[in-house]
Structure 1
């Protein structure tokens, strides 16, 4: 008889609890989130920017009272920033203090109070843990978010393999550190490059895309309940038209919500062409995108 998951008891439980926290998960998302906890496997969430990949990890942390630990990936990320590094300044001060102590002992004939100072610098006292190692060592519920993993160099994926395979990290000077309690791991990718098969093989996979109009309207009205239904419908329709244009950056779900909040703050009760043009900067952050939108949607300022 399989043991119940410590994260969610079922896909329906995941959907209900995530929805209560403000994250409206469809069936595929709720099922995959449940399985990630039940099978203790990392979850790779892929899709365009702004569809709720990062927010899924945050929502899981919220509803399970877990600590969220985030590794933000970027080009040039290395082991020292992802796993751990040694506190070299503190080690140097330690060695200098040991040297002074040894010289004092040799001069005064006092007994040596500390032996083998140099051999003691590679200990826990001098270890600076980074997100991956921190998540591995925690014994409390932890959600580890490896955000935008596709922005790293291919070599960095090798750092993840040991963590994703066995939930352990090997530190040459200290040995292997294994997870006492496996974290709930979410990796996100905007699919700017193909991830290695080795990483994918260790993960469950979920593809998130922009929601359909009805679901996005539900998301917007749940986040901004003061927005009139009629205006919400017009907003979602306009967002859909903007996403159909070839823009540098299509509006995200978060920007849809920001737009809704803007309309409420400005007390705009009718999202006509002028209102759209006046507030377009909330959802489109490139001047070329705004110019294209004004032209293609025939907006008037």
Structure 2
């Protein structure tokens, strides 16, 4: 499968499904498909890293398989595990039927089969014959040991199951890894990937994004919103407003029929974009807002 015919094709098709990609994003997305290499997308939270993987799936008609990373993630949750309860029931049933004469080799061959295998996201994506986008989300949240689980998948697109052998991809998935850069990823993982850094967009691009997602918002209000978001991102906040929160704020203003984003309107709707009390207090102080 050819994921995208060219960077221009990637830009057009991503735009058609609601993702406004800059030239670097379009080019790297095209290359990830053409070279069949995983794409590592790094940047602050809320700049569209996860959404890029979803947009690629929508634009190409592929299914999305997502591995959400977190501290404590292990092989059983990322690759596969055996259905131990079902295996135990089979052992008990076989023991009863054979009167205890069945050997361990016979039992072993009976319970370590596809029937008892529980596939997790990595193995699921590897085994799929249909076009698949594999999203490994927030990989920097895992322990560094987990990266070792990814190396075989990212280099050879295969998984080794001791009891069954090696499972190789029939059709290589389009792989997107995202990272908020909370820790440095290993060079071994980076070496296997193309790299794309996403940051908050400039004012003009953010206006385009908001206008495309919320066409009912007045252009002047859109400009006021984007300017306010930019001011907030310059403050030392616990969590700066993301692009998704800019869009949510725009939808809020449309729902409230606000035609002018003045200080009162900002103060009344801050909860849409700022989710920490300390951030609220800092915004009110720095923007000189008056609480009602």
> In the alignment, which of 96, 104, 112 is matched to residue 92 of structure 2?
96
Instruction: Tell me which residue corresponds to 2:45.
Output: 49
Alpha-carbon displacement from aligned partner over 1:115-173 (angstroms, at most 9, x marks no partner): 92342111111000000000000000000000000000000000000000000000000
Runs of 4 or more above 6 Å deviation: none
What CA distance in whole angstroms lies between the structure 2 residues aligned with 1:161 and 1:210?
30
The match for 1:29 among 25, 32, 54 is 25
Where 1:75 maps in the other structure, the secondary structure is: coil
Alignment of structure 1 residues 66-145 onto 2, 5 Å: 66-103=62-99, 116-145=106-135
171, 178, 194: which is aligned to 1:188?
A: 178
Say whether residues 1:20 and 2:10 are aligned partners. Answer: no
Q: Which of the residues 190, 211, 221 maps onto 1:221?
A: 211
Aligned to 2:158: 168
Local SS of the residue matching 1:144 = strand
- Return 5+ residue gaps in structure 1 as ranges: 107-111
Residue 293 of structure 1 and its aligned partner are, at CA, apart by 0.1
> TM-score, structure 2 length as denominator?
0.97
**With structure 1 as the length reference, what TM-score do the two structures score?**
0.95
How many angstroms apart in 2 are the aligned matches of 1:118 and 1:136? Answer: 25
- Secondary structure of the residue that 1:117 maps to in structure 2? helix
Does the residue aligned with 1:116 lie in a helix, a strand or coil? helix
| Structure 1 SS opposite 2:220 | helix
Render the CA deviation track for 1:43-90: whole Å, top value 9, x for unaligned: 000000000000000000001010100000000000000000000000
Please tell me whether residue 247 in structure 1 is matched to residue 243 in structure 2: no
Cα distance in 1 for residues equivalent to 2:282 and 2:42: 28
Gapped regions of structure 2 (runs ≥ 5)? none
Q: Count the aligned residue pairs.
A: 289
CA distance in 2, matches of 1:103, 1:199: 51
- Corresponding position of 1:294: 284
